[in-house]
């Protein structure tokens, strides 16, 4: 079959004959068939489109990338998405060609380019993604940030740190924090901690605290205590709830003085917080983290009135209480609240069984 016969089969063949011709394109120089193959992406037939996509995914020549890039402007979503899919597959070593489109005046093209090269996770891709951090379009910057998060290097961290210091869009800042967490290098944690102590946006503050905790060391306890102190006079239940979730990790920390300080903050929150549901959750955490939990739970029982929190404190004493808790618990055996009576008896029985 010569090239003219091949094109004739593409033009007038059945679906199966066209698919056969697509597979046979390997017998010709790619320069002779690439335009015809790309035209087939416009066919209203998934089987033909998929055959072209599969074939081009096996072609790594520069001309294939160069011919596909204009399709990023294509209004036909199927054609555009096919081009993106192919470029993501074959473009890893063609970043210099793809990256030139970051100069395109079309913001959507710049976004697609960041999405594509952001999949590669290479230092070469990083060169172009860093450039895109200065793009005026927020979606382009956000895509670049997410791509940088796939590059495990201090240079990637430094680029994200610089953007975090000046980026005003909250959504992009969330993405920067997430990407720094994904990079998971010591420098990334340092950047996150430094940002935490400068941050005033409550939502970003919560995101930073979440991210630091994922590094799995005890630094996050110091940071959680800092946030407690920073927010003590504010009505920010979501962040407090977040801190309490982190509190479950404190039991693994070897520095008992640090753990105790964290527990003291939890105890203060239980007594004074306006969000009583979060206070209730804090009561559940206390027995798990503090060697002084018994005294703190007894203090809770003497200072709060909510049945839900009282019940949780009684249950906690069943876990960590000693004989000195029994007189207090016995008072609840006469409570009008049936649940409190039952829990108090269970707690007393557990303490006596342990002693």
Tell me the pLDDT tens digit for each residue of 66-106.
999 999 999 999 999 999 999 999 999 999 999 999 999 99
Does 349 share its domain with 279?
no
When the pLDDT of each residue in the chain is averaged and rounded to a whole number, the result is 89
Give the per-residue pLDDT at 330: 94
Model confidence at 252: pLDDT above 90: no
In a domain, 41, yes or no: yes
pTM of the predicted model as reported, rounded to 2 decimal places:
0.74
Does 286 share its domain with 324?
no
Does 276 share its domain with 305?
no
Give the 3-state secondary structure of 85-103: HHHHHHHHHCHHHHHHHHH
Does 273 share its domain with 297?
no
User: What single DSSP character describes residue 322?
Assistant: -
Q: How large is the C-alpha radius of gyration of the chain?
A: 31
Determine the Cα–Cα distance for residues 177 and 143; give it in Å rounded to an integer: 13
Give the per-residue pLDDT at 116: 98
Does 305 share its domain with 262?
no
Does 284 share its domain with 326?
no
In a domain, 137, yes or no: no
In a domain, 4, yes or no: yes
In a domain, 176, yes or no: no
Does 223 share its domain with 248?
yes
In a domain, 35, yes or no: yes
Report which of 219, 283, 221 is spatially closest to residue 246, judged by C-alpha positions. 221
Tokens describing residue 117: 């090269």
Does 286 share its domain with 298?
no
Tokens describing residue 36: 């015809």
Determine the Cα–Cα distance for residues 304 and 301; give it in Å rounded to an integer: 6
Does 10 share its domain with 74?
yes
Q: By the 8 A CB rule, do 247 and 289 touch?
A: yes
Residue labelled with tokens 């407690």: 228
What digits encode the pLDDT tens for the residues 4-58? 898 999 888 899 999 999 999 999 999 999 999 999 999 989 999 999 999 999 9
Determine the Cα–Cα distance for residues 222 and 261; give it in Å rounded to an integer: 10
CATH number of residue 307's parent domain: 1.25.10
Does 277 share its domain with 311?
no
Give the per-residue pLDDT at 28: 93
Model confidence at 153: pLDDT above 70: yes
Q: Is 335 left (phi over 0), alpha (psi -120 to 50) or beta?
A: beta
Residue where a domain terminates, one of 62, 93, 124 = 93
Residue where a domain terminates, one of 291, 324, 341 = 291
Tokens describing residue 187: 């420098």
Determine the Cα–Cα distance for residues 94 and 86; give it in Å rounded to an integer: 12
Determine the Cα–Cα distance for residues 75 and 82; give it in Å rounded to an integer: 12
Give the per-residue pLDDT at 80: 96
In a domain, 173, yes or no: no
Q: By the 8 A CB rule, do 92 and 117 touch?
A: no
Residue where a domain terminates, one of 267, 291, 315 = 291
Q: By the 8 A CB rule, do 236 and 276 touch?
A: no
> In total, how many domains does the chain have?
3
Q: By the 8 A CB rule, do 298 and 317 touch?
A: yes
Does 31 share its domain with 85?
yes
- Burial-class residue 28 by CB neighbours within 10 Å (0-12, 13-18, 19+): middle
In a domain, 284, yes or no: yes
Q: Any idea how long the chain is?
A: 355
Does 286 share its domain with 304?
no
Give the per-residue pLDDT at 115: 97
User: What single DSSP character describes residue 118?
Assistant: T
In a domain, 260, yes or no: yes
What digits encode the pLDDT tens for the residues 38-47? 999 999 899 9
Domain that holds residue 58: 1-93
Calculate mean pLDDT across residues 134-148.
Answer: 97
Calculate mean pLDDT across residues 218-233.
Answer: 72
């Amino acid at each position: 079959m010569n090239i003219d016969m091949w094109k004739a089969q593409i033009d007038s063949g059945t679906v199966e004959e066209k698919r056969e011709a697509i597979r046979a394109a390997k017998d010709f120089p790619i320069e002779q068939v690439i335009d015809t193959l790309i035209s087939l992406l416009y066919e209203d037939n998934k089987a033909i489109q998929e055959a072209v996509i599969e074939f081009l995914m096996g072609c790594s020549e520069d001309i294939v990338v160069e011919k596909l890039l204009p399709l990023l402007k294509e209004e036909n979503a199927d054609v555009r998405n096919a081009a993106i899919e192919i470029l993501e597959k074959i473009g890893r070593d063609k970043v210099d060609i793809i990256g030139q489109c970051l100069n395109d005046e079309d913001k959507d093209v710049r976004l697609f380019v960041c999405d594509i090269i952001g999949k590669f996770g290479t230092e070469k891709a990083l060169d172009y993604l860093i450039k895109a951090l200065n793009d005026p379009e927020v979606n382009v910057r956000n895509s670049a940030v997410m791509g940088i998060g796939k590059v495990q290097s201090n240079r990637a961290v430094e680029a994200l740190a610089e953007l975090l210091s000046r980026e005003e869009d909250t959504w992009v800042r969330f993405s920067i924090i997430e990407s720094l967490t994904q990079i998971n290098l010591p420098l990334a944690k340092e950047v996150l901690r430094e940002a935490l102590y400068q941050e005033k946006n409550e939502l970003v503050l919560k995101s930073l605290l979440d991210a630091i905790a994922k590094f799995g060391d005890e630094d996050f306890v110091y940071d959680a205590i800092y946030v407690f102190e920073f927010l003590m006079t504010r009505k920010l239940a979501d962040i407090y709830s977040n801190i309490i979730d982190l509190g479950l990790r404190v039991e693994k920390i070897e520095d008992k003085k640090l753990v105790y300080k964290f527990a003291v903050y939890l105890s203060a929150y239980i007594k004074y917080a306006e969000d009583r549901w979060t206070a209730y959750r804090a009561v559940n955490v206390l027995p798990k983290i503090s060697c002084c939990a018994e005294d703190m739970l007894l203090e809770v029982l003497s200072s709060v009135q909510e049945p839900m929190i009282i019940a949780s404190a009684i249950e906690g004493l069943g876990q960590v209480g000693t004989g000195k808790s029994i007189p207090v618990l016995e008072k609840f055996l006469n409570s009008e609240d049936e649940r409190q009576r039952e829990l108090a008896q269970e707690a007393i029985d557990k303490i006596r069984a342990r002693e």
